[in-house]
C-alpha cells in the first residue's frame, strides 16, 4: 500500500469511528435556590424528595430511582394519581423524614430537594449526590414552572420541559376564557381535622387561581404563603366563594364549623359557592400531570365561572 493510500484509509477509519462513537455529553449548569449547580453530564439516576419533582420527572419521561413516598412523620404518601406510576420506584423515606442511608445505596447522580422542608439536610444530601434545592412546597405556580424547566435541563430533557411549559400556557389561556369577570373574592384553604390553612396569592394553588382571573382575598404574611386562620378570621374576610381542599380519609374541620351560626353568615355559604376538592391532587402534587386534572376540575366544577358546584364538588356535611 502506498503512503498516500494508507493515509486516506486511516482518515476514513478515523471518520467512521467518530460518527459511531457516542457524543460526549456536555456539563450542565443551572441556578438553584441553594446556589449554582453544575453536573458533568445530564443526570440519569434521580432521587425526588417532593411529589412535584416526581410528577415532573414522569412528565419528562424519566423514572426516578428513588422518591420520598413513605408515610414516616405523618406524611400521606404518594397521591393516588401517582401511585400506579411509581410502583417500581424505591422509597427513600418520606418528605419529612428522608432516609439518607437508602439514598446513598441508590448511588444517585442528582437529588431534588425542597429548600424549606429540607433546609437542615441540604449539606448531608450534597455529600450523597449533587443536590438541587428549590422553594417548591411554599412556592408559587410560576416558581413551579421555572422548576420544571430546571429539572428538564438537569436531566437532558430541556426540549420536553419547554413543551410542558407551552402546554401549561395553553391550559391557562383556555381556563381564563371560562372565568367570570368581577366574580366575588374567594378564599382557598386546606382543611384537616385540626386546622384551616389558607393559601395566599403567593402560594402554588392560590397564585394559579389568581392567574386565571379569580380574586384571592388572602395576602401572604411576609414570606409565609400559607397559614392557619380561625373561623372568626374567615368571617372577617367574608369571601363570596370558598374553596376547600380536603382528604377523603379525614373529617375536615369545616364540618364542625358548618354547625356554627358564624359559618352560615358567610357570603359563600349563602350564595351556595362552597367547593370541595382533593387536597392530595390540588395542593400536594404541584406538577404538570396533576395540573391537567386541576385545570379540568376548575372548569367542570363551575369554580372559574362562579357557578354553583355540581354534586361531585359539593362540601361534605
The alpha helices in the chain, defined as continuous H runs, are: 3-20, 51-60, 100-106, 122-128, 141-154, 158-176, 204-211, 231-237, 253-257, 261-264, 267-271, 279-282, 288-300
- Name the residue range of residue 282's domain: 181-313
Same domain (yes/no): 165, 220: no
Task: Match 357557578 to its residue by C-alpha cell.
Answer: 307
- Among 102, 137, 172, the domain boundary falls at 172
Same domain (yes/no): 63, 167: yes
- Among 126, 148, 172, the domain boundary falls at 172
Question: Domain of 239: which CATH number?
Answer: 3.40.50.1980
Q: What is the mean pLDDT of residues 210-224?
A: 96
Q: For 52-82, what is each residue's pLDDT tens digit?
A: 999 999 999 999 999 999 998 888 899 999 9
Same domain (yes/no): 62, 150: yes
Q: What is the mean pLDDT of residues 256-279?
A: 97
Q: What is the pLDDT of residue 73?
A: 84
Same domain (yes/no): 279, 226: yes
More confident residue, 22 or 233: 233
Same domain (yes/no): 146, 189: no
Q: How confident is the model at residue 13 (pLDDT cuts 50, 70, 90)?
A: very low
Q: For 155-181, what is each residue's pLDDT tens digit?
A: 999 999 999 999 999 999 999 999 999
On whether residue 13 sits in a domain, the answer given is no
Q: What is the pLDDT of residue 24?
A: 59
More confident residue, 10 or 141: 141
Q: How confident is the model at residue 8 (pLDDT cuts 50, 70, 90)?
A: low
Q: What is the mean pLDDT of residues 84-95?
A: 94
Phi, psi of 303 (to 5 degrees): -60, -50
Number of domains making up the chain: 2
User: Of all residues in the chain, what percent carry a pLDDT higher than 70?
Assistant: 92
Would you call 129 exposed, middle or buried from its count of C-beta atoms within 10 A (0-12, 13-18, 19+)? buried
Q: What is the mean pLDDT of residues 122-134?
A: 96
Same domain (yes/no): 142, 212: no
Does pLDDT of 3 surpass 80?
Answer: no
Q: Are 117 and 95 in contact (CB under 8 A)?
A: yes
State the pTM of this model.
0.89
Q: What is the pLDDT of residue 48?
A: 98
Q: What is the pLDDT of residue 198?
A: 98
Distance CA 99, CA 252 (A): 31
Does pLDDT of 317 surpass 90?
Answer: no
On whether residue 19 sits in a domain, the answer given is no
Does pLDDT of 230 surpass 90?
Answer: yes
On whether residue 1 sits in a domain, the answer given is no
Q: For 25-43, what is each residue's pLDDT tens digit?
A: 789 999 999 899 999 999 9
On whether residue 162 sits in a domain, the answer given is yes
Strands (E), 183-225: 186-191, 196-199
Task: Starting at the earlier edge strand, list the strands of the sheet with 226-228.
Answer: 226-228, 196-199, 186-191, 241-246, 274-278
Does pLDDT of 18 surpass 60?
Answer: no
Same domain (yes/no): 195, 121: no
Q: What is the mean pLDDT of residues 108-137?
A: 96
On whether residue 83 sits in a domain, the answer given is yes
Does pLDDT of 282 surpass 50?
Answer: yes
Same domain (yes/no): 33, 160: yes
Q: What is the pLDDT of residue 6?
A: 43
Same domain (yes/no): 42, 166: yes
Average pLDDT for the chain: 92
- Among 172, 196, 211, the domain boundary falls at 172
Q: How confident is the model at residue 214 (pLDDT cuts 50, 70, 90)?
A: very high
Q: What is the pLDDT of residue 25?
A: 72
Same domain (yes/no): 196, 253: yes
On whether residue 292 sits in a domain, the answer given is yes
On whether residue 73 sits in a domain, the answer given is yes
Amino acid at each position: 500500500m502506498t503512503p498516500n493510500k494508507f493515509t486516506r484509509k486511516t482518515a476514513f477509519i478515523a471518520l467512521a469511528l467518530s460518527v459511531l462513537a457516542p457524543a460526549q455529553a456536555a456539563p450542565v449548569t443551572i441556578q438553584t435556590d441553594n446556589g449554582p449547580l453544575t453536573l458533568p453530564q445530564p443526570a440519569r439516576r434521580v432521587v425526588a424528595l417532593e411529589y412535584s419533582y416526581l410528577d415532573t420527572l414522569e412528565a419528562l419521561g424519566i423514572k426516578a430511582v428513588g422518591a420520598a413516598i413513605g408515610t414516616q412523620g405523618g406524611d400521606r404518601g404518594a397521591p393516588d394519581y401517582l401511585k400506579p406510576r411509581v410502583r417500581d420506584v424505591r422509597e427513600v423515606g418520606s418528605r419529612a423524614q428522608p432516609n439518607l442511608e437508602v439514598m446513598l445505596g441508590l448511588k444517585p447522580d442528582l437529588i431534588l430537594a425542597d429548600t424549606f422542608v429540607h433546609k437542615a439536610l441540604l449539606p448531608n444530601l450534597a455529600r450523597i449526590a449533587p443536590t438541587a434545592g428549590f422553594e417548591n412546597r411554599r412556592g408559587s405556580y410560576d416558581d413551579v414552572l421555572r422548576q420544571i424547566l430546571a429539572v428538564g435541563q438537569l436531566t437532558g430533557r430541556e426540549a420536553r420541559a419547554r413543551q410542558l411549559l407551552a402546554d401549561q400556557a395553553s391550559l391557562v389561556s383556555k381556563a381564563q376564557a371560562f372565568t367570570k369577570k368581577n366574580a366575588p373574592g374567594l378564599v382557598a384553604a386546606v382543611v384537616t381535622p385540626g386546622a384551616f390553612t389558607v393559601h395566599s396569592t403567593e402560594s402554588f394553588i392560590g397564585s394559579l387561581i389568581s392567574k386565571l382571573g379569580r380574586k384571592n382575598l388572602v395576602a401572604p404574611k411576609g414570606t409565609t404563603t400559607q397559614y392557619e386562620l380561625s373561623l372568626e378570621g374567615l368571617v372577617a374576610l367574608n369571601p363570596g366563594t370558598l374553596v376547600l381542599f380536603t382528604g377523603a380519609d379525614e373529617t375536615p374541620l369545616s364540618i364542625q364549623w358548618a354547625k356554627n351560626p358564624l359559618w352560615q353568615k358567610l357570603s359563600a355559604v349563602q350564595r351556595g359557592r362552597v367547593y370541595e376538592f382533593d387536597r392530595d391532587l390540588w395542593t400536594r402534587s404541584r406538577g404538570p400531570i396533576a395540573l391537567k386534572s386541576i385545570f379540568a376540575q376548575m372548569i367542570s366544577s363551575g369554580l372559574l365561572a362562579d357557578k354553583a358546584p355540581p354534586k361531585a364538588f359539593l362540601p361534605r356535611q
